[in-house]
């Protein structure tokens, strides 16, 4: 399912740029700002929908590798347009010990260029393209993962954390 286009703001941010601001509620209703995590490495992964096969596989893989992320001074945020309540159910069902952020108004999804026109079986629609951003301690984007493959993603990011940060 190829994705086309980018955000209303002109597409994805680029490596070396300061990461766009984030201020979103998590699965417990607590707001998180990216700026609160300066001094830490941050993996932001954007995914289409809670409790679907690929998204569940990706979340559980990150869950299973979370101690390795913590050892590398990294925090993880999953972001989709699902509601706080849906995130809560998803996190509880799969015992996800990391933060899921709700972007129902699409502001952050658009600022990161991941809310795009998609095409499946000849039908065009707007949706989230599975993309991740690795952000360093200075809030700069150091790696962008496009069209992420869920089963391999956590290992790939952990390997890059050891190299680039």
- For 31, other C-beta atoms within 10 Å of its C-beta total 11
Q: In tens digits, what is the pLDDT along the chain, a chain of 165 residues?
A: 334 434 344 588 999 999 999 999 999 999 999 999 999 999 999 999 999 999 999 999 999 999 999 999 999 999 999 999 999 999 999 999 999 999 999 999 999 999 999 988 889 999 999 999 999 999 999 999 998 998 889 999 999 998 876
Q: How high is the pLDDT of residue 161?
A: 92
Using left for φ > 0, alpha for ψ between -120 and 50, and beta otherwise, residue 5 falls in: left
Q: How high is the pLDDT of residue 1?
A: 39
Annotated catalytic residue within 55, 76, 96, 128: 55
Determine whether 60 is an active site residue: no
Q: How high is the pLDDT of residue 165?
A: 61
Burial of 14 (0-12, 13-18, 19+ CB in 10 A): exposed
Q: How high is the pLDDT of residue 32?
A: 98
Beta-strand ranges (E) seen in 47-138 are 74-80, 99-102, 115-120, 123-128, 131-135
Q: How high is the pLDDT of residue 5?
A: 38
Contact indicator for 21, 34 with CB cutoff of 8 Å:
yes
Residues 154, 149: Cα–Cα separation, whole Å = 10
Q: How high is the pLDDT of residue 112?
A: 98
CATH topology of domain 3-164: Glutaredoxin (3.40.30)
Q: How high is the pLDDT of residue 152?
A: 87
Contact indicator for 129, 116 with CB cutoff of 8 Å:
yes
């Amino acid at each position: 399912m190829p994705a086309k286009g980018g955000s209303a703001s002109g597409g994805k941010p680029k490596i070396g740029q300061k990461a766009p601001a984030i201020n979103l509620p998590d699965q417990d209703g607590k707001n998180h700002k990216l700026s609160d995590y300066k001094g830490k490495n941050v993996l932001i992964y954007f995914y289409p929908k809670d409790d679907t096969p690929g998204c569940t596989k990706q979340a559980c893989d990150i869950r299973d590798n979370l101690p390795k992320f913590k050892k590398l001074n990294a925090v993880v945020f999953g972001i989709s347009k699902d509601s706080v309540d849906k995130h809560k159910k998803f996190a509880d069902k799969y015992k996800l010990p990391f933060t899921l952020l709700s972007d129902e108004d699409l502001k952050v999804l658009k600022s990161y260029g991941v809310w795009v026109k998609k095409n499946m079986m000849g039908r065009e629609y707007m949706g989230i393209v599975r993309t991740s951003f690795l952000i360093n301690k200075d809030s700069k984007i150091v790696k962008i993962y496009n069209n992420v493959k869920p089963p391999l993603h956590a290992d790939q990011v952990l390997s890059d954390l050891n190299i680039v940060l």
